[in-house]
Structure formats: structure tokens, C-alpha cells
A = this chain, B = another copy of it.
Amino acid sequence: MGPRAGDEERPTLEDVAAFAGVSRSTASRALNDDAYVSAAAREKVLAAARDLGYSPNQAARSLVTRRTGAVAVVLSEPESRLLDDPYRAAVMRAGYRELADVGRQMVLIFSDIREDLSRTVRFLEGGHVDGALVFAPHRADPLPKALRLLRIPVVFGGQAAGIRRGVHVVDFDNEGGARLAVEHLVAAGRRRIGTIAGPQDQGAPIDRLAGWRKTLLDAGLDPADLAEEADFTLSGGANAMSALLARHPDLDAVFVASDMMAVGALRTLDSAGRRIPEDVAVVSFDDNATLAPAMDPPLTSVHQDPREQVHAMVETLMQLLDDQNLKPRQQILPVSLAVRASS
């Protein structure tokens, strides 16, 4: 009829009901497998839906149920990160899968740029999604605060540095992981143990640095001047390694706060003629499945499973959807050390 052919043919629930010879209500009940539908009716409705190629109009449904079936996954990373951060890629992947498993659709949101904040908030407000999983916001990030005002169910992945209370958080034991790494190095007889830390405006890198420092002190070693901050990128790791090496040519081990930076560090060490692990032992963090074991030498790394984190986050969010008043809880997931040839 109109300019667009084919569009108006989409059958509605009414059509299905008529075709099956029942009422709209019964058809709805059958399709949503409510109780109180006779087997015969259910059968007829399902057949009708199949024959007509019916699929429910989500807009209409969510208008009345006030549920969309979608969950936002918000990554508030600097632009550059996403391209080369395999951990975030794994998070996305896991988010998609875990949400699909509970019948929810993932809606990805990148919120790294200034202007994106208002867009992000507007989107979240618009009722497009039932809740949100928010990853690794920065300390300066205004997003967490904005989200709390919205009263939209939110679960954070990784500490929102600074905001710890009143929110749901699923994090790894970053400090404990760093401790594992450094204790491993100490046990191997290393004494000049440096670290390449991540950006100190995020929760995880802060905790990893703290873990390194405390463990050194506990072992009676002096951390002074042995830490270098980088930005989680390969080149950042390489540069930080150069700086450390320049300051401490006698360095015999380094704890790197991410696999990606460790790759850069490895490169620098190689150029500087250091043998790994004979001259300098390297332990990193993330234990990315495609990165850590593939390096030369394979990296000893603190293992954390993004899928496990996301799974816990989704679980919490689902509970939150059922009961908005669920009291805020923080889950700290354990990590382990995958020992390989680099240490």
C-alpha cells in the first residue's frame, strides 16, 4: 500500500490468535508459557505463530512490561586502549555470551570521550536497557556518579577507584595477585625487583602497585625508586622498561601490571641484551590466553578469568533486577599464578 511494500505484512499477536481460533489473551499466555493454558490451545497458538512467521514486537512488549531484555556493557576506556587491549576484548566476548545465556541482549557502549557522557546517560535513561555492567571507570570519571542518580541497576567490574561504598562491584584480588607474583620472585632469589605499574587513576593498577610495594617491604627489600608508571600499552611498557633499566642496571626482576606492557618490556630487555629469565625475571598480570603463553619466553602471569568476572556480574545484576533493594555487595575474585619460562 504505502511506499514500502512488505512491511505491513508483519503479523501481530491478534493475527496469530485469530488464526489459531483463540483470543489474544490466550495467545499471549501460550507464547509466554504462562500457567493456565490448555495443551490444545498452546499447541494451536504455537503452530499459528510458526505458520505466520510471527515474532513479537519488542517495543510494544517493553512498553507494558517496562523491561527491554537488554543490558548495557559500558567500557569507559581511553580510545587507544580498546584497539590493543585483549583483556577488554575478552570482556566483551564474555559479556555477550553470559548475557545471552540469561536471555539478555548486550548493548555495548564506549564512553571514553567527553561528549559521550551525556549521550551515554541519555541512552541509559531512555529505557533502552534494564541495567548496566560498567567496567573500570577512572577515578575522574563522572559516569559512576551519574549512574547512581539514575537509579538504574548497575554492577561495576573493577573498583571504581574512589567510590567503593553503596555500589555493587565484582573485582579481582589485584593486591593479592601482585603479592603472589612478587613472592614468587623473592622465593627465586631475586632481590632487585622493579615494577611497571598501570595508570594510577584506576583501581586495579593502584592495588597491584600497592601489593608489589607491601610484599617487598615484608621481605625486607626496599621498593624506593623501583616503580615506573605506564599506560597499559605495548610502547608504554617498553619505555617504562628503558627508564627502569637506566636507573637500575642491576635490576634482576620486574613485575609488570599487564601482559601487553610486558610484551613491550620484553622487547626492551631483549634490545638491552638482557637474557630472560637468567638476567631479569619477568612476571606480568592478566594471563591473557593468546598473549602470555605465546611470548618468547612464555610469560609467567597472574591469572584472572574475564569470563568468571562477567559471570558474577551478570548474576548480581539479575538479582538486582528482581530486587532493587538488594544490599550492595563487593565480590573479590581470587587469582592464581601461571608460572612459565619468563621467571
Residues of A at the B interface (CB closer than 8 Å) are: 3-7, 55-60, 62-63, 66, 68, 70, 79-80, 82-84, 86, 89-90, 92-93, 96, 100, 105-108, 110, 119, 122-123, 125-128, 151, 234-235, 267, 289-290, 294, 296, 324
Contact A6 B151 (CB under 8 A): yes
Q: A4-B324, A106-B108 are in contact. Are A58 and B89 (CB under 8 A)?
A: no
**A341 to B: closest C-beta gap in Å:** 16
Q: How far is the CA of A336 from the CA of B79 in the complex (A)?
A: 25
From known contacts A55-B122, A63-B59, A108-B106, infer whether A83 and B127 are also in contact, taking CB-CB under 8 Å: no
* A-B residue pairs, 8 tightest by C-beta: A59-B63, A55-B125, A59-B62, A58-B126, A59-B59, A108-B108, A6-B151, A4-B324
Partner of A68, one of B59, B100, B105, B234: B59
B108 & A123 in contact (Cβ 8 Å cutoff): no
Closest to A323 in B: B3
Residue of B nearest to A235 (CB): B294
- Can you list 10 residue pairs at the A/B interface with Cβ under 8 Å? A4-B324, A55-B126, A57-B63, A57-B127, A59-B63, A60-B63, A79-B93, A83-B93, A107-B108, A234-B290
- The CA-CA distance from A267 to B266 in the complex, in Å, is 14
Report chain B residues within 8 Å CB of A80.
290
Copy number in the complex reads: 2
Selected contact of A83 from candidates B68, B90, B106, CB within 8 Å = B90
B107 touches A107 (CB 8 A): yes
Closest-CB distance, A336 to chain B (whole angstroms): 21
Docked-complex contact B290 and A58, CB < 8 angstroms: no
Residues on the B chain within 8 Å of A83, using CB: 86, 89-90, 93, 289-290
Query: Does B96 lie within 8 Å of A110, measured CB to CB?
Result: yes
Whether A56 touches B126, Cβ cut-off 8 Å, given contacts A105-B107, A234-B294, A235-B294, is yes
Chain B residues whose CB sits within 8 angstroms of the CB of A123 once the complex forms = 105
**Which B residues are CB-close (under 8 A) to A66?**
7
Q: A6-B151, A108-B96, A108-B106 are in contact. Are A127 and B86 (CB under 8 A)?
A: no
**Measured CA separation A58–B107 after assembly (Å):** 15
Task: Known A-B contacts: A55-B125, A83-B289. Give 13 more (CB < 8 A).
Answer: A4-B324, A7-B324, A58-B128, A59-B59, A59-B60, A59-B63, A82-B89, A83-B86, A84-B89, A89-B89, A105-B123, A107-B108, A234-B294
Closest B residue to A291 using CB positions: B84
Interface centre among A56, A79, A127 (most CB of B within 10 A): A127
Give the chain B neighbours of A62 by CB distance below 8 A: 59
Query: Inside 8 A of A70's CB, which chain B residues have their CB?
Result: 128
Residue of B nearest to A62 (CB): B59
- CA–CA, A62 to B57, complex, Å? 10
What chain B residues lie within 8 Å of A151 (beta carbons)?
Answer: 6-7
Q: How far, in whole Å, are A234 and B7 apart by their CA atoms in the complex? A: 45
> Which residues of B have CB within 8 Å of A6?
151, 324
- A100 CB contact (under 8 Å) in B106, B107, B119, B294: B119
Q: Interface centre among A5, A83, A100, by most B CB within 10 Å? A: A83
Are the CB atoms of B127 and A59 closer together than 8 Å?
A: yes
CA distance A93 to B55 in the complex (A): 30
Query: Which residues of chain B are near A59, meaning CB under 8 Å?
Result: 58-60, 62-63, 68, 127
